[in-house]
Amino acid sequence: MTLRHIVTWTLASDDAAQRRADAEGVRARLVALKGIVPSIIDIDVVIDEVDERTTNSVAVVADFADAAGLEAYAVHPTHLEAAAFVGSVVNTASRTAVDGAI
């Protein structure tokens, strides 16, 4: 069973250029985890291109072999560094997540 981890956030900045830069920063940091965090099978980040002020602005979609792989990702030091950046640019109250078998 492969476990798909999906998390979405709304970016915090009111400035459109800053939101775009923040979204790109989120993407760069999270996608870079592939090959560094051994349990990641695949990871991608989607930035809303239509109306990110009324929907979630950024989503990460990551696949793991199982829940243990997701747990290893959650505590990996490099992921924690990326998560600190994400936490600094998103509205943390907007976070939604789902983890399901695919």
Gap between the terminal Cα atoms of the chain: 7
The fraction of the chain above a pLDDT of 90, given in percent, is 86
Bridge partners for 58 per DSSP: 9, 47
**pLDDT tens-digit readout, 46-60:** 999 887 566 789 999
pTM of the model: 0.93
